[in-house]
Structure 1
């Protein structure tokens, strides 16, 4: 018996499609994956690349049990999943193999979106297509470390419970030949096709050695919502005469108030971070894009580019001149000197006439800053958005870093400010009440798996309190004081740590979501929102509230579960 043979049994339906990635273990000897049924071996796939996993597709028309096998001394297999194209939008993919370096974390009961394997960052193409919400995202299959970018894909009915779909968008073969982190299919957006079912996606392709443009804009069409067709170049170069850096990325496409398709792109100039505006009269948005001008120029210490911009109407139809819009963008490498927080995301509320944006107010989207690359769209009569639950100040191309998406949020304009409460369906996560009396009385409350929602209502705005959260590795708390609302996050042994505070906040209602590796704070229905990734996946074990007991109107803890 050969102990180096890895065998993977799979029971397949009729007309199953297998996607798998594999590479040769050593030069000169091809890597191979064999397919066998009870009648014997019926197929074999070989690869020669020893540096990076090669993508392969195999169709198995007859259903029933089969066995996949390979010699671990000659072949390395990263991922295997199968699906049936006829119903994959309803059933998703079935993952049958990952490796130790790309397997998802074991977080039973977690309710945040995570990829089925590998690395994830920015949300892309977030929208409702074919009647259901779709989420695309920056993805690398073969490790929990940033590398050559693909687009992962998932579908939902309520923004909370997702089915994983096949990897949607692939970079060029040249870029996938080596795991050298040179670029790939970067962030972008998606719109419904105007002349039939399907979507058109827009994304940035990065090739660092390409001259004169490292980053250009591409578009591709998917009629089946499963795979993207051949990508075509849409914008091959930056606009002239604007003193822009090589940064030219993250196309966000939407309908303007004049009915034309608009595109936002992030960049940097000698003036600061820049959001560029393009438009086209092409009803399909497939071409004819022309540069309109700089929609936004924003300065902040350390900023190397504005990125992941999005713009959408908040309080009325897009074609009403009185409707207020919100412009959201990230400030790459920015730093707030007062708090030490980096990579801030900002939001401006104002008016958009199709050519210019007139700002009324500006605020931070999230005082915890771990809600990055936020992307939103108008779904019926509601604006819905989601962000990457992480921050580039904590990770990079050499750090093993499994991450998640934030809870989806609604964008609401109230009293002149942008509010970002969790979507209403978040209440469907509640499985049972853990406590209705002990927290309010100042007693410690054990939190079980740590996947909980904590709601505290005070009698007066600005009530001082401190909620201590018992975590095995972090000194964690949520508090309110004269200076504002704060997430206390102290790592033992780290001398200088950022201060996560919403200055001037005087909240009366606080809603906190805890999960493996994260805390999200929503105060006064999302008037102030703070999102913080927690190192590791140890759960918060208990909570205790310190405040004037007479000020507590209600304190409830719900256990959460998908």
Structure 2
């Protein structure tokens, strides 16, 4: 921590807001404080010591704390001067206004280190050309997993893991954004904070880890979001002594909100059912039994009058069935390898480097056959209440083939297109292609509350699509299953800069099961709202001209390095397209096809040794490429496969045809920015 923070003093109007929220970090010496002088008197804050000096109120950092969230009342339509001493305001916003859901919070720059933003930054001040144009990211600080996705009373809600104090991961909060179309987002107040005793015990870490949401009526019965009275969330609370992984304790808790902003008191609802499960026991994903039952036979054991939660963990191998009731099956893995498994136990014979590092160091000599990654199922009768007991149903899926993985993270279990789908990230695992922590999908049927897998594969063949969470969008006729992912920066392309955030969400994708595989493709709103002006289009004759790349480069530059490329093919010839390049040409990303398989190929990056290959089963006829400054997402054959990748910040925009293959048509379109 820096010593001797510079004092900061800034004045600004409060507008329609009644509260100033400041996340203050004190220095090692001296008592951090924040003083607020207003042009009109304001009531005293309830959560801090203060003294009134005319119109100035001073709030001291509570004794023994180095970090504190101050929630300070301010008068509407007044001007306040805020001074910070012996501390730095890491994150601040104006809060509490009429119809806050529609308005959003107003960010306030009280950070002496941030000279890039004005004191009340507008959207265009915060989201400049260094940042994503169409992908969601917070205004500043660290973000990871999407949480609590739901549709509630006319708005989509996205909660997410957040650290308001810095560029990297630390004690977890739930931050919050809201949207009408899943693309244009407004920031809301931070919804959940770490456990209170963390403030005076810096040796303890953890906080409000990932979880999910379900909309309910006033009795607690699940219902469609448009008619709901409340959002009930389920999350993990995590606590451990820093540096001592063995001290970690995780439990599942629940809370409810009737205004979609403030949550009531949490209640613990699920703990580890036995010592057979590892200390990793987190990320509860809630689903309705009625939805699971729609894709299940009578033998599934699913009760449509109950709710189900799947929790990520690992389980002692001795606790798993060895034969699945005497029936061993084969299923197709997306890499076309035979995959024997037993009911509820996935045993694909796919190898992987025994690595626990994104850099690829092989520090494990053999598989861990003692603890197996598992998704653990619990159920509860309806309606749902704070202290409603959840019954342990056992592991719904375990993956012996990937026993080197520490655990699953962010598990999911849902019905889709007549099948049951499970998905989860394999923590601390590197697959045979070199991809770190891939998210796996498993498609099959439930039998006695165990998933009998028929096919499996990777949700994404890139290396930046982690911590996926899906939700059932009941706001559209017939409903749809939508997924977001945190675009994890395993290649370490991002570097801390003033005015930037560390963390981005993927484009929202709609999921389907087709031909026994999980498909993912951008939601319809992406094409309606984001795909804008056509910058270039060409037929085969025009593509054969020598000047094609000059025209493409000009079009890409006009896009501001945020474009959508739409390509169709008539044959199976290999192709190569340049889609990203640093200003000095030292770092490059290409989308290529070799021997009928689409790949992402990097040059000059830490991901150069990774084989980002698709597992498509049909010839490439349609390729869609979204380039959003530092984010690249590729979709093959309308969602048969997909890949996400991050790229370092660059002022260069490029698209070039290195090798056309059987390219029939090509068009480049501007991406309409969402931050405006």
- TM-score, structure 1 normalization: 0.90
* CA distance 1:76–1:304, shift in 2 (3 Å): same
User: Does the CA contact (< 8 Å) of 1:261 and 1:285 recur in 2?
Assistant: no
Residue in structure 2 matched with residue 319 of structure 1 by the alignment? none
- In structure 2, which of residues 651, 658, 666 is the aligned counterpart of residue 546 of structure 1? 658
Residue in structure 1 matched with residue 549 of structure 2 by the alignment? 443
- 1:297 and 2:398 equivalent? yes
CA offsets 1:325-367 (integer angstroms, 9 cap, x no match): 2211111011112x11110111112223682322221121000
Residue in structure 1 matched with residue 622 of structure 2 by the alignment? 509
CA offsets 1:146-194 (integer angstroms, 9 cap, x no match): 0000101001011110111000111112124466672111000011123
User: Does the CA contact (< 8 Å) of 1:19 and 1:80 recur in 2?
Assistant: yes
**CA distance in structure 1 between the aligned counterparts of 2:80 and 2:159, rounded to whole angstroms:** 31
Residue in structure 1 matched with residue 238 of structure 2 by the alignment? 206
- In structure 1, which of residues 349, 358, 361 is the aligned counterpart of residue 443 of structure 2? 349
- In structure 2, which of residues 169, 183, 189 is the aligned counterpart of residue 160 of structure 1? 183
Deviation of residue 539 (structure 1)? 4.8
User: Does the CA contact (< 8 Å) of 2:579 and 2:627 recur in 1?
Assistant: no
Deviation of residue 540 (structure 1)? 4.9
Deviation of residue 26 (structure 1)? 4.5
CA offsets 1:403-448 (integer angstroms, 9 cap, x no match): 2000000001222221100011111112311111376754242222
**CA distance in structure 2 between the aligned counterparts of 1:540 and 1:180, rounded to whole angstroms:** 44
- In structure 1, which of residues 40, 58, 83 is the aligned counterpart of residue 95 of structure 2? 83
Residue in structure 1 matched with residue 488 of structure 2 by the alignment? 390
User: Does the CA contact (< 8 Å) of 1:254 and 1:261 recur in 2?
Assistant: yes
SS of the residue corresponding to residue 27 of structure 1 reads coil
Deviation of residue 109 (structure 1)? 6.5
- 1:459 and 2:570 equivalent? yes
**CA distance in structure 1 between the aligned counterparts of 2:56 and 2:463, rounded to whole angstroms:** 52
Q: How does 1:31-70 map to 2 (within 5 A)?
A: 31-37=33-39, 41-48=55-62, 52-70=66-84
* CA distance 1:363–1:12, shift in 2 (3 Å): same
**CA distance in structure 2 between the aligned counterparts of 1:19 and 1:495, rounded to whole angstroms:** 40
CA RMSD of aligned residues (A): 2.9
* CA distance 1:133–1:29, shift in 2 (3 Å): closer
User: Does the CA contact (< 8 Å) of 2:66 and 2:199 recur in 1?
Assistant: yes
**CA distance in structure 1 between the aligned counterparts of 2:493 and 2:264, rounded to whole angstroms:** 32
User: Does the CA contact (< 8 Å) of 1:155 and 1:165 recur in 2?
Assistant: yes
Which structure shows the bigger proportion of residues in helix conformation?
2
User: Does the CA contact (< 8 Å) of 1:510 and 1:523 recur in 2?
Assistant: yes
Q: How does 1:180-195 map to 2 (within 5 A)?
A: 182-195=205-218
User: Does the CA contact (< 8 Å) of 2:204 and 2:239 recur in 1?
Assistant: no
**CA distance in structure 2 between the aligned counterparts of 1:352 and 1:394, rounded to whole angstroms:** 39
User: Does the CA contact (< 8 Å) of 2:36 and 2:80 recur in 1?
Assistant: no
Which structure shows the bigger proportion of residues in strand conformation?
1
- TM-score, structure 2 normalization: 0.75
Q: How does 1:479-558 map to 2 (within 5 A)?
A: 479-482=592-595, 484-491=597-604, 497-503=609-615, 506-534=619-647, 536-548=648-660, 551-558=662-669
**CA distance in structure 2 between the aligned counterparts of 1:384 and 1:192, rounded to whole angstroms:** 16
Residue in structure 2 matched with residue 419 of structure 1 by the alignment? 519
Structure with the greater alpha carbon radius of gyration: 2
SS of the residue corresponding to residue 175 of structure 1 reads helix
- Provide the aligned length of Structure 1 versus Structure 2: 544
The farther-off stretch of 15-24 and 119-128 is 15-24
- 1:433 and 2:534 equivalent? yes
**CA distance in structure 2 between the aligned counterparts of 1:57 and 1:416, rounded to whole angstroms:** 52
**CA distance in structure 2 between the aligned counterparts of 1:178 and 1:430, rounded to whole angstroms:** 49
* CA distance 1:24–1:528, shift in 2 (3 Å): closer
- 1:25 and 2:27 equivalent? yes
Residue in structure 1 matched with residue 376 of structure 2 by the alignment? 276
Which segments of 5 or more consecutive residues in structure 1 lack a partner in the other structure?
Answer: 316-322
User: Does the CA contact (< 8 Å) of 1:300 and 1:335 recur in 2?
Assistant: no
User: Does the CA contact (< 8 Å) of 1:465 and 1:479 recur in 2?
Assistant: yes
- 1:477 and 2:597 equivalent? no
SS of the residue corresponding to residue 165 of structure 1 reads strand
- In structure 1, which of residues 213, 217, 233 is the aligned counterpart of residue 252 of structure 2? 217
